[in-house]
Structures are given as C-alpha cells and as structure tokens.
Structure 1
C-alpha cells in the first residue's frame, strides 16, 4: 500500500473514531475567520478554498521561534533552508516553486524583485498576531505570484483585549531571543507595538569545508513593529503599520571564504477607509516595502555585492453589498518596483560595473469579484487584468461553487488561472537574463470537502495544477546558467483535522504532491512528495505538554533521491500564575541525521527554555 493510501486510511479511521466520541460533547473548537481568500471576512468553513490559520496562542504554546518551523506544520507546504538560522527560506506550496507563493504583510507584498524570494526568515513570530494560508491559485484577486497559494501575516488584530507581554528564551547554539510589546483595542483604537531580538552562534552550514568555511554560521536579527488604527465618526478609519527587521548572518559559500549577509526588511503602510451598514464601503492603502541584502567578506570586511528592491504601491478596494446574498468587490492595484544592485564585478565587454539593463517597472491592475449566496449554494467569480511595463498584459480568471449539505458538511469545486511575473534576474541579469522570457501561467482545478462537528473538524482537497512557461534555471552548453520556460504538471491531495476531547488535543495533516516536468517525465527538484504531521497535546491544570511528530518523504535533488526522515519534538508549559508561564522544548529528540539540501548540514537535537509574561 502506498504512502498516500496508507496515510489517508489511517486518518479516516481516526476520524471515524473521533466522530463516535464527539457527537454529544459541547463545542470546544473556535472556528477561525479569514479574509485573505476573498478579501471579505468569512469563516474557514464557508470559504471556497482550503485554508489554515496560525494564531499567537498556538505559536506560544508550541514554542515556535521562526516561521519556517510554523509553516512546516501545515499541509500542502514543504519548507527548505540551505543551512541554519537566518538562511533564506524556500516555501514550496503544493509543489510549486518558492517564488510562486504570494506573501503579504498586512496586504503589502514584500518579496525581492530581483530573485523573487520573500525574507520570511526575518519575521519574528512574536510580532505577528495571526497568519492566514490559502492554498491554490488566487491570481484573479492578487495577480502575480499567487499560483501555489497566498500567505498573509498580520501584525495586529481587532477586538482583542489590551495585553502587555514579554518573553525571554535561551537554547542550543548559544541562542538568545527576547521580545516585548503591547497589543489590544481600547475604545476606537486598535494598536500593536513590539520589539524583538535574536542572537545565535548557529552551526557549520556546509558539509565541505575545503574552501576554509569550517566555522559556525551565526545569526542576529532585531525587529520593530508599530501598528495603530483609529476609528473615526461616520464610519471612517485611518491606520498606520510599520514593520522593520535588520539582520546579519554568516553563511557558507562555494566561492567566497567566510562571507556574511546583511539584510534589511521594511514594510510601511498607511490606510484609510469607510464602512457603512448599507450598500457601500471602501478602503485605500498606500504602502512602501524595502528588501535590502548586502554580502561581504568578513575576513576583509569588504562588500562583495548588494541587491535592493523598493516597492511603492496603492491599493483601492470597493465593496458593494447589494443584499444579503450578493456582494461585488471592485479594486485598483498599482505598484512600482525599483531595483539597485552591485554585482561585485565588471562587465566583460565594457569594463564597467555590471548592472541590470533595466532597473524599474510598474504594474497596474483592475479586478472584480462577485460573491453570490443562493440558499445552500455559493458562487464566487473573479477576474483581474494586469498591465506590466516589462511583459505587457495578463488576464486571470477564477470560478468556484460550493454546496452546503448541512451545517456539518460542505463541498466546493474551483477552477482558477494564475501567473507569475518574471523576476529582474530572469529578465535582465547580466550575461544570463532573457528579456523575452515569458510570464509563468497556470490552470488550477480543485475539489474539496469540509466537515465541522461540536469539538472537531476536518478538510480534504484534491487538485491538479498545470503550469506552462515555468521558469527554471538550466546550464547551457557553455555551462552558463540561464532561465528557460518549461511545463510542469502537479497533482496532489491535502488532508487536515483537529479535535479537542476534554483535556486532550489532537491535530494532524497529510500531504501528497506529485510535481513532474511534462516534457521530460522527471520529478521537479527539492519537493518532498509525502508529508505527515501529528500534534498531540494534554492539559493538566496549569501544565500542558505535547508531542510533535513529522514525516518527510524522499525528495529528488541533483539527480538523486534524498532519503526520507522523521522528526520528533516534545514541549511543555507550566503556568506559575495567570501572568507568568515557564516553557521548555526539545527539537529533533532522536537526533536524526537528515539532509534537506545536498551539501548543507541540518540541526541536530536542540533544547531551549523560555519564560512568557503577560499582564
């Protein structure tokens, strides 16, 4: 029996057992509300998509210090890093590439326009109020990058009681982490203020130290969050959010001895809106994000290269609620990207410093979405047209329909187009870029079923995603790496469930994904085809403890299959009183020796302890 069928059968049997014991119990699971899927507030059960929500309480209970660990606990996502703390995080959502998951902070993009990656390794979970993950294409709403899914991080959440908080954490590799802040809602003001810092010696990232990189690769990061929203008279409001992280990490390079990377991530947004109880509401967001990365040789303290993206954007959303069953969203979305770079070498032909042949572009989009509620049937229709100065016009459409069999069961089916704009590297990288490279396009088909009971719920989704013009970097006959358009077929299934039975909590998910190059008949690199997570928790008065078990299947890399592996973590929390909690965690309990990226080490068994205060 294959992994998918074996896993699904086991979870189905567990679900049936839970159903037997759960029906007469009082409701103990709070249903989450999401806005990322359709730009309007909906419960996760009502949404015609597969969604997950990570909130502050879950992160604190499981003692998760970085978003790589948090995302790995979700179905449909495979996360890799080339080294330890602070190294770039690659997120493969439903088998798509790491640049094909749109990432937002309070609605604002923060990816690098040069390489297409988002610096989520710089986001401290302590400064986030919640994270929403929507699987599947959402380009009809968001445009470029939203092929595999959308991840949105929120720095504040309305309706929360005022709370002051702080944490101090110490662990393996001489890792120290501290954070403090205040968040909540007072009268008509919602606010979130916080600071966080982490310092770690790290471990030796690269296996081969022939080039002199036989050292630990440390990481430091300092972050600041400021978010405030003021409700005004007459349905108006105005808000400001600012998030900034400054980090430095050593890393092992194949080409430079003892290199170091300095990174600066900044996202600032000013918003204003009007909401009425009748037909119309509107919101305007003005934002700027900055992603800056500078590499240098630590032995000589000489900068070797730097890359910077500055993105300015304006977003105007208008909602027309014609009646209880008809909602129309119409919006304008504009952003301008400017890049600056020093490649650290001169052009072979001109002798001048190498640079991009083009350093800025702009994108203007108009989109509309119609949501209909027809008794037990829901219909979502969306369309968006993007006009980009680099590659022209791109139109994306989507259609989804859902049917509620009862208050317990709900099914949906959807078809959605997606696309991703070529990065500046793919278009204009000196000596490698191809200004004629085509935007990546996709057609995603999905069918899903959701169920909610009094104290447990589950969701399952099967999908097929065909990506044409996928951009892959492949060496040419001379050994120079260049971007090429290829076609990829991806199919898979996601299953997740959670339950609370008295003092026990149980959550689990299973993922199977099969991404294949259509022309070559080869598996797409670096993706694990199978993944399974189980989280068991038990509360005893002022003590709660639990086990996190994860299985990752084989993945292909550099023409060979990396072996599968399993990881086990244990955690415990002890509430001294209503204000102070002591916590401890052991990760990779069995000290598993595993490989995610060929040539790079992974962390062995680690321990950490922390104290959390709130008042």
Structure 2
C-alpha cells in the first residue's frame, strides 16, 4: 500500500460531500434504518451484533468471553466493551490509548506515537496477552507479541477486552487476557460516505475517509471500505540527559491504514464474506547505545485477511468456517543502511460448531489449525504447526449460570498443552450477581526464545498459569454495570534469560515464578444523560524468585471518563492515574493526566472536534529514559453523510 495510493483515495473521498449533495434524494424505503447485524468470525460467530444496542446498559452484546454472543451483563469473566461511540468520546487515536481506560490494563509506550507499546493485562507481560483482529492472530512469532501501536482507531468499530486466563478458548498467550479488535462493518442502509481532516501539536496531520452500507435494496450484500493516514514530527523518544548516545532530535511517525469487508447473506441461514486490514508504519526511534547523529527507522506492517462463512444447518446446529492470514513485518534501518528483517506469517483455519441443547443450553465444538513461519536474515527457524480442538458448554438453570471450556493444543516443536476454564454465576436478584471461576493458561515459547543465536534454547517448555477469580456485579439500565473482581494468577515455568559463561551470554530457561493478586473495579453506564466509565485496579505483582515487584507494573492505577451531549455539542474528559513503578532499579514516580474533548455538529453532516491531552502539562515517565508527550492540542473537521 503506497503513499501515493492512500493519498489518491483520500483526495477522491474529499469530493464526496459535493457528489452526495448533487445526488441527494429521499432514502429508498426498501433500505431498513436498523443496522445490519455483524458477525466477525471466528471469535464472533453469526448472530453477534456490532452495535446491538445502545438502548440500555444491559443490551450491548459481546462475543469474546465465550466465543459466542451474550449480553455484557451475562459474561462471567471480567469483560470490557468499547463501542464506536465510546471510541469517538475518547481522546485516544490508537488502540493503546483506548486500552488505558480498561480495568487491569497498563500501557507503556517507548516514546512518541508509533513507538513500541507494551500491554500489561492483570500484571502479565506483553507476550502473555493475546491480541486478535477480527478473530485473527497478528502477533510476531519472533517476539511473541502484536504491534498494538500500529492499530489506529479510525478503522475500528469496537474493542472487547477479557481479563484473566482464557487459553481454553483461544490457546497460547491468553494468560493475562484477550484483546479483540473488530474493524468497521457494513450496514443495511444506502452507502454512506464520511471523511475528516485534522491538525495538531507536533505538526500532526490526519486524514480519514470511508464508505459503508448495502449494495442492493434488500440489504443482502453489505460492505465497508476505509482509509486513513497520520503523520507527525514527534519528539525525541529518549531523554538525551539520561542517555547521551541517543539522537536528541524529534522522532516522527507515518501511518497509512486501509480496511475493507464485504458480506453477502444468501438466505436466512447462510452468509459469507471477506475482511481485510493493513497498517503500514514508518517510525523514527532512538538507540541509547548508538551515536547522537544516528537516524533509525523501523518499517512495520500489520495485516489481516480472512474469508468466512456462517451457516445454520438445523434449528439447533450453527457452523462457522474461517480461513485467515495474519502478518507482522518489521525492517530496521540506521542512517539508510539496512540492519535486519523479521517477517511473520500466521495462517489460521477455524471450524466452530454451536449446538443448542435447550432453551438456555449451548454446546460448542471446534477445530483450529495454526501454521506459523518466520522469514528473517538474523536466524532460521522451522515452521510451527499447531492443531487444536476445543469444547465449551454454557447454560443457565434458573438463577445459576455455568461456563465450562477445555482445549488441547498440539505443537510441532515442543508438544502439547491442555487448558480449562470453569466459571459459575448466581443471580441474587434481578440486578445483583456473583461469579467465580478457576482456569489455566499457557504461552508457547517465541521463536526468539527457541532459536535466536546465542540465547535461544530449543528445549524450553511453555509458560504456565493458573487463575482464580470471584466477582460481585450490579447491573441495571439506570446505572449501567458495576463490577468488583478479586483475582489471583500464579505463573510458573516463566522464560527468563539466565547469564552463562560469566555473564558473557544469556540463555533462555524456564526458571521464573510470579504471582499477581488484586482487585479490579469497573463501571460503565450513565448518570442522567452523562456517559461515564471508571476503572480501578489495586494489585500486588510479585516476582516470587526475587520477591520484588514485576518491572514497570504499578500496584494501583485508575481511569475515569465522562461525556455528555446537549444540543449540537458533546463534551467530555478523562483522568488517568498511576502509582509509582520500578524499572530495573529506577523508580518511576506516579502521575495523573487530564484530557479534555469537545465536538460541535455544525450541521447534520458537518462537525468540528478538538481535544487537549495532558492538560496540566505533566512531566511523567512510562519507561526509564523514555520521554512522554507534554500538553498537546488537536482539531478535526469532518463530514458524515446522513
């Protein structure tokens, strides 16, 4: 996807308001005004809605917590849902910024936008949380984690976050939890165009354009196509006072992204479609061990492509088929000279079957095949093949609710792993509910862990974890969903790099143990006409070998946001707070950030929005030696066809 292609698409979309006005006419009554129910296989099989409901706190539907649709209030694991409205309310522009508002989630960004971002979910490392785009893995098999900083929110319809061990549903990596990103879907309405242009601090420039709707009057074929571009000059990623060898100049970032989908509904029983997402990034970064004049660039690509079909074979049997490709690309250059390349391919094939056993009982059986390969000039590694079978049972008997999942993953390079999830919920009243669960999870060694020259160890085993969780929940349309969760996760066989030969080399070994205990509080709902979201985490993330806190994890952190619409205005604000953290012996002080946002609808189609980040210009650190953005402001003007 070249810069010229993206610019051409954006320029073409920029003329759409004039075209739409010239062709304006009353909507065809054959088009329904309701949004088309969206299914995003494999983790969101047919029947799951993308917008299902903005009509009450209990109505929103999630699909990640049990690999199938259920109301948010019914989910037994701690589950967070960010709708498109939540995304527009937020000041965040990329996935890490949005996840900072999720309970249990800490984000560490190594510098300006586009820099490497680490997600600590329930204290787990970045490799211990699984990120999916439309149900597809996009992680690097070399590093074992996804480039979440390369996922702009302009392409996203909604995000779901499930905390805790759910490897029994999704396999390797789902120890701290799962983040699932759903790209924009089509709708059962005439095609609607939109575009926006933005400018702000650090010479940030943004352009976005899209179209979505139905291609026929019956709404059987729906589609979505979106492109976006963002460019900024950034700031120096590393503080040269702490690392004199780093280049003190600003580190800019360019991102170009496209997403598309087409779905056709053959009849009331079958639908099929294709999805595509690609994000290209060019990130300037600092090297603390280089020269002050070095200019470093990382060229990144995150791509997902899938073909899916959903069918209702009988009144009690629904099947979902998906074939997908998830890519991660990374090329590193210094002063224009090529350094290295790491290219990952994840080929994923899923067949999931849901059987309705009764009015409130469902059995789930599935098979998944994952083929992973790495093409790098740094080292060679054999392809990895994973065959997985999984089963799930979900039921409600009066006030009692049950969820049970088991999974077997058989790896070609180290053997197999068995995982389970057992959850129970009990409704005390119409609004009050208690839940409890016990689960296990694992993380397969990355290719770096296994094969990297000098440190890889082909004999290491998967990391393991066991988690217990108990929660109390209150849910009502008037207040929303309030939940308090107590959890404990024990990690064993953690892969650490142990010094050998007098410290000259480091070798990967299964020697680590850790325990994370904590409380998570969350609230998502409304107070009158004000939408509110709050999250509080108090935890004890301990390395059981050294009896010290795990690096960069805070013992307490929180977020709060409120947004209100009145007249043609929408105003809001966010407060993000973190306690102190240890970063390999360096103490990182606690901090609190305030962000403000506002939007004004000039007409039914035109709008202008603005946001201020770090209102009080706080100087804070997420990682030792790395800079963070100071007070910054951004403004956007946009048009949405009605």
TM-score of the pair, normalised by structure 2: 0.87
SS at match of 1:201: strand
CA distance in 1, matches of 2:395, 2:84: 33
Q: CA deviation at 1:191?
A: 1.9
Write out aligned runs for 1:442-461 (5 A): 442-457=465-480, 458-461=482-485
Q: How many residues align?
A: 576
- Mapped contact 1:236–1:272 kept (Cα < 8 A): yes
SS at match of 1:438: coil
Q: 3-state SS of the aligned residue for 1:45?
A: helix
Instruction: Give the corresponding residue for 2:409.
Output: 386
Give the whole-Å Cα distance in 2 for the aligned partners of 1:536 and 1:130. Answer: 18
Instruction: Return the match for 1:50 from 54, 66, 78.
Output: 78
Structure 1, unaligned runs of 5 or more: 1-26, 344-354
Contact 1:155 1:192 in 2 (8 A): no
Is the Cα contact below 8 Å between 1:464 and 1:491 reproduced in 2?
Answer: yes
**Equivalent of 1:331, from 360, 366, 369?**
366
Q: Residue 276 of structure 1: CA displacement?
A: 4.9
Structure 1 residue 160 displacement after superposition: 6.1
Q: How many Å separate the matches in 2 of 1:377 and 1:437?
A: 42
1:61–1:573 Cα contact (<8 Å) kept: no
Runs of 4+ in 1 over 4 A off after TM superposition: 157-162
Aligned pairs for 1:83-232 (under 5 A) are: 83-157=111-185, 161=189, 163-185=192-214, 187-208=219-240, 210-211=244-245, 213-232=247-266
Residue number in structure 2 paired with 1:280? 317
- The match for 1:466 is 490
Say which of 303, 311, 327 aligns to 1:266.
Answer: 303
Say yes or no: does 1:322 pair with 2:350: no
Q: 1:63/1:523 Cα in 2 relative to 1: closer, same or farther (>3 Å)?
A: closer
What's 1:524 paired with? 550
CA distance in 2, matches of 1:404, 1:314: 37
Q: CA deviation at 1:503?
A: 3.5
Contact 2:58 2:476 in 1 (8 A): no
Contact residue 114 and residue 339 of structure 1 kept, 8 A: yes
Contact 1:340 1:359 in 2 (8 A): no
Question: Separation in 2 of the partners of 1:116 and 1:143?
Answer: 13
Judge conservation of contact 1:391–1:438 (CA < 8 Å) in 2.
Answer: yes
The one-character-per-residue Cα deviations of 1:60-81 (angstroms, maximum 9, x if unpaired) are 2224211111010111100001
Question: What is the rounded CA distance, in whole Å, between the counterparts of 1:514 and 1:240 in structure 2?
Answer: 44
> Following the alignment from structure 1 to structure 2, what is the Cα–Cα distance between the partners of residues 407 and 275?
32
- Distance in 1 between residues matched to 2:385 and 2:89, nearest whole Å: 42
Task: Note the 1:237-248 alignment, pairs <5 A.
Answer: 237-248=271-282
Please state how far the C-alpha of 1:210 moved relative to its aligned partner. Answer: 2.9
Task: Give the one of 617, 620, 626 matched to 1:600.
Answer: 626
Secondary structure of residue in 1 paired with 2:202: coil
Worse-matched range after superposition: 94-103 or 151-160: 151-160
Query: In structure 1, how many angstroms separate the alpha carbons of the residues matched to 2:390 and 2:589?
Result: 45
Instruction: Please report how far the alpha carbon of residue 543 of structure 1 lies from its aligned counterpart in structure 2 after TM superposition.
Output: 1.3
Q: State the secondary structure of the residue aligned to 2:174.
A: coil
Q: Report if aligned partners of 2:423, 2:435 keep a CA contact under 8 Å in 1.
A: yes
Once the two structures are superposed, the pairs formed by residues 216-615 of structure 1 within 5 Å of their partners are: 216-233=250-267, 235-256=269-290, 257-276=294-313, 278-297=315-334, 299=335, 301-343=336-378, 355-356=379-380, 358-457=381-480, 458-476=482-500, 477-485=502-510, 486-615=512-641
Is the partner of 1:295 in helix, strand or coil? strand
Q: Is the 8 A contact 1:529 1:554 kept in 2?
A: yes
CA distance in 2, matches of 1:242, 1:117: 20
8 Å contact from structure 1 (residues 156, 191) kept in 2: no
Tell me, in whole angstroms, the C-alpha distance in 1 between the residues paired with 2:586 and 2:302. 35
Distance 1:551 1:362 in 2: 42
Q: CA deviation at 1:234?
A: 5.9
Q: CA deviation at 1:157?
A: 4.2
Q: For residue 84 of structure 1, give the secondary structure of its aligned residue in structure 2.
A: coil
Per-residue CA distance 1:372-422 (angstroms, 9 max, x = gap): 211111111111111001110110011111111222112111001100100
**Secondary structure in 1 matching 2:88:** helix
Relative to 1, partners in 2 of residues 1:530 and 1:454: Cα closer, same or farther, differing over 3 Å?
same
The SS at the match of 2:86 is helix
